Amino acid sequence: MTLTAPPPPARTEAAAAPPGRRPRRRGTPGGVRTLVSAVDLNRHRTAYVVAVAGTMLVFTAAFLYPLYWMATSALKTPVEFAQNVPTIVPESFHPENYTTAWTSMRIGRFFLNTVYYALGGWLIQLILDVAVAYALSKLKPVFGRVVLAAMLASLMLPAAALLVPAYLTVADVPIFGWNLIDTPWALWLPAAANAFNVYVLKRFFDQIPNDLLDAAAIDGAGRLRILRSVVLPLSRPVLGVVSIFAIIGIWKDFLWPLLVLQDPEVQTLSVALSRLANTSQVPPTDFMAGLVIASVPMIVIFLIFQRSIIGGLSAGAMKG
């Protein structure tokens, strides 16, 4: 076969065809073909518009309205809140319910507790898990595979099965004899034993070419310096995803903090709200304000980092 042979005419036609068929799909770059073809979609324009509008209506009612209801209920008076026909827009406007909740329900205290636990837990998880992943990936110690397998095996353990023995362990740590109940360490140390983080980080570090590390080593950088100046800057995306999920995980956790944080002074928002929900002294409107305050940081994180969160979720779906 010669290199200069002209392509058969049929070929050129086929090659020319795609540009001609390009505008088959409006609104999608590249025109990805899905279940319904663009032709059908254009033919049934009305049905499509109705479907999108209907979905928007249902989604708004199902997912947005409950949050709107929560935020506006917190602005009402208890009397208006208890009305048989709920008002969509609050008749009276009492933003002071939020400040009352913050101070007299001491939501502020629990909020700061939770922030402290989330940030501390995030930092410890990141430091310890990055160190483990880096050692396993780039220093390749003897028994490294065994260590990794033992860590991954813990992914198989449902959290529920470890609840009681883990509680007893935290109440009396073997060898050291510490009692971590009611201390932040009861949340932080078990959270650092996160095999998923180690796995994700190690996989990412594995993809960093060793030549790059060797080059830095020749320039006189030690292992720690290589981690700090070469590996970590390259790993920003994966560190971001691990960080976000670490903070969300601690913020949303309930059963474990319920067990290990018994003193009301040190409880997280979730635990405190579940306790306050069963007392009758709290006005329902203030309580709604408490629920809103507990949700706001998560919603803000979601709106800022939605790309990473949704991307991380999708990557998880593909790789498992």
Partner 1 sequence: MAVIPAVAVREARTARLRRRIGDNLLAYAFMAGGLFCFALFSWYPLAKGVILSFQQDNFVVPPYWVGLDNYRAVFDDPLFWTAWKNTVLFTGLALVFGFALPFVIAVLLNEFRHLTGFFRVLVYLPVMLPPVVSVLLWRSFYDPGNGLFNTVLSSVGLPTSQWTQSSSTAMISLVLVSTWANMGGATLMYLAALQGIPGDLYEAAELDGAGIWQRLRHVTVPQMRFIMLVLLLLQIIATMQVFVEPFLLTGTSSPDTVTVMVLIYRYAFTVNNDFGLAAAMSVLLFVVLGAFSALYLRLTRSAD
User: Contacts with partner 1 in 109-128 (CB under 8 A)?
Assistant: 127-128
Would you say 197 and 129 are in contact if contact means Cβ atoms under 8 Å apart?
A: yes
Would you say 152 and 199 are in contact if contact means Cβ atoms under 8 Å apart?
A: yes
Nearer to partner 1, 161 or 215 (CB): 161
Of residues 220-279, those binding partner 1 (CB under 8 A): 223, 248, 251-252, 254-255, 259, 269-271, 273-274, 277
Nearer to partner 1, 12 or 28 (CB): 28
Nearer to partner 1, 2 or 45 (CB): 45
Q: Is 68 in the site for partner 1 (CB under 8 A)?
A: no
Of residues 71-100, those binding partner 1 (CB under 8 A): 73, 82-86
Of residues 6-25, those binding partner 1 (CB under 8 A): 25
String marking each residue 28-67 x if it binds partner 1 according to CB under 8 A = x---xxxxxx--xx---------xx--xx--xx-xxx-xx
Q: Is 134 in the site for partner 1 (CB under 8 A)?
A: yes
- CA 181 to CA 178: how far, in whole Å? 9
Contacts for 176-185: CB closer than 8 Å, 24+ residues apart: 180/260, 181/260, 181/261, 181/262, 182/260, 182/261, 182/262, 182/263, 182/266, 183/266, 184/116, 184/117, 184/120, 184/121, 184/266
Instruction: Select the residue interacting with partner 1 from 8, 9, 19, 165 (CB under 8 A).
Output: 165
Q: Is 177 in the site for partner 1 (CB under 8 A)?
A: no
CB-side neighbour CA atoms (13 Å) of 199 = 14
Of residues 287-306, those binding partner 1 (CB under 8 A): 287-288, 291, 294-295, 298-299, 301-303, 306
Q: Measured between alpha carbons, how far is residue 164 from residues 86, 259, 266 in Å?
A: 43, 9, 21
In angstroms, give the least distance from the CB of 2 to partner 1: 31
The one-letter amino acid code at 131 reads A
Helices (H) and strands (E) in the chain, counts: 18, 0
In angstroms, give the least distance from the CB of 139 to partner 1: 4
Residue matched to tokens 């996989």: 203
Instruction: Select the residue interacting with partner 1 from 101, 105, 198, 266 (CB under 8 A).
Output: 198
Would you say 269 and 294 are in contact if contact means Cβ atoms under 8 Å apart?
A: yes
Judged by CB under 8 A, the stretch of 4-12, 93-101, 187-195, 207-215 that binds partner 1 is 187-195
Instruction: Count residues near partner 1 (CB under 8 A).
Output: 106
In angstroms, give the least distance from the CB of 192 to partner 1: 4
In angstroms, give the least distance from the CB of 5 to partner 1: 27
Q: Per residue, what are the HEC states of 23-83?
A: HHCCCCCCCCCCCCCHHHHHHCHHHHHHHHHHHHHHHHHHHHHHHHHHHHHCCCCHHHHCC
Nearer to partner 1, 100 or 294 (CB): 294
